Amino acid sequence: MPHDRRHFLASAAMAGLAGTAEAAAAGDNTGSRMSVAGSTGAALPDLTFAQREPFLDRERAAHILAAENLDALLVCQGRNVFHVTNFFPLMERMSLTATTLALVPRDPSKPVALIIPAFSYYYIMADDGVVPGVQPYVFTSPTADDQASAPLLYRLSGEATPKEQRRRNSLTAAAPYHADMARALRAALRDLKLENARIGYDDDPVIPLLGKAASTVQMQSAEDTARRIRLVHTPASIRMMRLASHANVEAANATVAAARSLGSLRAIRQRFYAEAALRGNLGVFMVVNGSSSEAHDEPLREGSAFLIDCVSHLRNFHGDFGRTVFVGEPTARMRYCTTAMATCWQELQPMLKPGLRFNEVGGLGNGLLRKFGFDVPVTFAPHAVGLAHNDQPRRSADGSAANLVMEENMILSIDMPLFETGSGGTAHLEDLVLITPAGAVPIHAVGSSTYTI
């Protein structure tokens, strides 16, 4: 594996081209339409497909809801609403919860009901458009005679722009309006014939709303149900994950290329956030040299290694990428450890197939360490990645601890941190992979397992 600094700088510059080539070879055109952002050379991805293609797999949702004896799922948490409708609630970005609801009937022939404030519909949804299979129920507020008030709009000054006219026309088409959220939910339950249904919910704020909307429904806590449904990705969400991961890896490579001049852990972390933003992602966290503290700082040390674990998201879809960076020539022990990690990871990927349980991965990894005679303390910890860094249920449907089974079209990380530290530094290796019948396939350009700066 190449370790010289000049090679790293060249490979970092080529990472974007490699990612596009890999996607094309896999029959995916996620990088086919790109626009340049300013003079930096960073690119913003085309996301218009997400205005047409739902992220929710209705057949999978129907299967899971039936298995859990639920007629429907009512969600109010932002990422859950987003997953089932492609719309992220406006006010949740401002720390207000349960401002928008989504009701998913078990019957996939019935639409998903989006219970949405009128201003959110006017201000965002009218621009995004409603994806197929979603029916909006728009609410305003009650008047003195308990009717729905007119929706709040911007006051016009002169003639409406095309965008403003489109917003107004879209909101008008979403009428009739409801006087409040509970009444909008009641209308959705009535239209979908769910007034006497057994309904799962993802968070407590919906309990009084459900009781007010239809006192005859049966309620069941089902936060993990939403996570179970989205464990397996749809074509649209796989495409989003590829784009998010591609930008995340490019941001990490650009950060490492600048690491010597940056000189310290905090500066490296902040540079990663900036590089991610230039590519359309938002930084979530970055572990640098084994530290997650954003207050701690220390300079880079010549001859040591430091790990990076980079997480950012693109419109809520997360990238996750880990590597080891050598500052000059590393210790012989660190070179040995990172070689062991890379060798085992290459051997492990074809073994990650549908039907394998998550708790079996560690045994496979440790078996590979023994096979090659490596005395290296590495963990092999799988987790699903999607609308969160760890996007999987905590419990099984029966309440027991979850021991997930890999399924085709899951996207996983196998975290491989070195559980050893000292003068040699820290090390990590992590890629995002798509589970296929032939094994795990990375969804981004892989490059080298280590870099030298």
pLDDT digits (tens, 9 = 90+) for 397-440: 877 888 899 999 999 999 999 999 888 999 999 999 999 999 99
**How open is the CA angle 39-40-45, to the nearest 5 degrees?**
100
Question: Given this model, what pLDDT does residue 397 score?
Answer: 81
- pLDDT, averaged across the chain: 91
Helix (H) or strand (E) holding 81: helix 78-85
Question: Given this model, what pLDDT does residue 396 score?
Answer: 84
Q: Provide the token pair at 152.
A: 């709040």
The DSSP line for 305-350 is EEEEEEEEEETTEEEEEEEEEESSS--HHHHHHHHHHHHHHHHHGG
Question: Given this model, what pLDDT does residue 64 score?
Answer: 97
Q: Which residues of the chain are in CATH 3.90.230.10 domains?
A: 5-47+232-452
Q: Residues near 178 by Cβ (< 8 Å), separated by ≥ 6?
A: 137, 138, 139, 140, 148, 184, 187
Model confidence at 41, pLDDT cuts 50, 70, 90, reads low
Question: Smallest Cα–Cα separation from 50: which of 162, 111, 117, 132?
Answer: 132
Question: Smallest Cα–Cα separation from 445: which of 36, 21, 57?
Answer: 21
The DSSP line for 426-450 is --EEB-EEEEETTEEEESS----SE
Averaged pLDDT for residues 220-239: 96
Question: Given this model, what pLDDT does residue 402 score?
Answer: 84
Residue 52 to residue 237: CA distance in whole angstroms: 12
Q: Please state whether beta strands 218-221 and 198-201 pair in parallel, antiparallel, or not at all (unpaired).
A: parallel
Averaged pLDDT for residues 376-392: 96
User: What is the distance, to the nearest Å, from the Cα of residue 424 to the centroid of all Cα atoms in its chain?
Assistant: 33
Q: Is the pLDDT of residue 35 over 80?
A: no
Token look-up 């003079």 returns 39
Edge-to-edge strand ranges of the sheet holding 450-452: 282-288, 305-314, 317-326, 450-452
The DSSP line for 221-282 is E-HHHHHHHTTBPPHHHHHHHHHHHHHHHHHHHHHHHTHHHH-BHHHHHHHHHHHHHHTT-E
Of 237 and 34, the one with more pLDDT = 237
Model confidence at 207, pLDDT cuts 50, 70, 90, reads very high
Residue 416 to residue 379: CA distance in whole angstroms: 5
Q: Is the pLDDT of residue 280 over 60?
A: yes
pLDDT in tens, 337-374: 999 999 999 999 999 999 999 999 999 999 999 999 99
Model confidence at 14, pLDDT cuts 50, 70, 90, reads very low
Q: Which residues of the chain are in CATH 3.40.350.10 domains?
A: 58-229
Q: Is the pLDDT of residue 34 over 50?
A: no
Q: Is the pLDDT of residue 88 over 90?
A: yes
pLDDT in tens, 253-273: 999 999 999 999 999 999 999
Q: Please state whether beta strands 198-201 and 72-75 pair in parallel, antiparallel, or not at all (unpaired).
A: parallel
Averaged pLDDT for residues 374-398: 93
Of 70 and 35, the one with more pLDDT = 70
Question: Given this model, what pLDDT does residue 27 score?
Answer: 38
Model confidence at 40, pLDDT cuts 50, 70, 90, reads low
Q: Is the pLDDT of residue 216 over 70?
A: yes
Of 36 and 412, the one with more pLDDT = 412
Model confidence at 445, pLDDT cuts 50, 70, 90, reads very high
| % pLDDT > 70, the chain | 91
Q: Per CATH, which fold does 58-229 belong to?
A: Creatine Amidinohydrolase; Chain A, domain 1 (3.40.350)
pLDDT in tens, 118-155: 999 999 999 999 999 999 999 999 999 999 999 999 99
Q: Is the pLDDT of residue 30 over 80?
A: no
Q: Per CATH, which fold does 5-47+232-452 belong to?
A: Creatine Amidinohydrolase (3.90.230)
